[in-house]
Homo-oligomer: A and B are copies of this chain.
Amino acid sequence: MPLWQIHHPAGVYSEADKRDFAGDITANYTAVGLPAFYVVVLFHEITASNLYVGGQPADDAVRIVVSHLARHLDDPERRKQMTERLDATLHPYTRDRGLHWEFHVDESPRDLWMIAGLWPPGPGTDAEKAWAAANKPLPY
């Protein structure tokens, strides 16, 4: 967590674009102390005959699904700010290229999540800081 799944038309992103895009997404989370390796980004290329917006085949639309953990952010204002910050991250890869874009964030339970056989340490704990510093899971 977080997991980003980016459904995009064929050919709109080069390999360098994808790497930049994934890096920009990741920076949103490392800025608040999360280990970088928590952030997984999957790019799924999809042809117009497999992507429909409003019932019409679309070759200019990017649809993104983000998975976060439930109850991480409860304050409505902070949720709004976070969502707008994530949206801004998308602009160079969508709006600025003339692509339509839509995203939503789902929230799944923290207690049903494991990495490399370990329970991820609680937010803000020393163990989480150690995972972030090492950028890998460590027994704790």
State in angstroms the CA–CA spacing of A114 and B65 once bound together: 11
Query: In whole angstroms, what is the CA distance A106 to B59 when docked?
Result: 26
CB-based nearest B residue for A25: B55
CA distance A112 to B104 in the complex (A): 6
Question: What is the oligomeric copy number?
Answer: 3
A69 nearest in chain B by CB position: B104
In A16-30, the 8 Å CB interface with B consists of 18-19, 22-23, 25-27
Instruction: List A residues 36-55 near B (Cβ within 8 Å).
Output: 36-46, 49-55
Known contacts A42-B51, A54-B36; is-contact A112 B117 (Cβ 8 Å):
no
Knowing A79-B112, A101-B116, A114-B87 are in contact, say whether A50-B44 is a contact too (CB < 8 A).
yes
State the 10 A-B residue pairs at the shortest beta-carbon distance, nearest first.
Answer: A36-B54, A22-B52, A105-B112, A26-B55, A106-B108, A104-B113, A23-B55, A37-B54, A43-B50, A41-B52
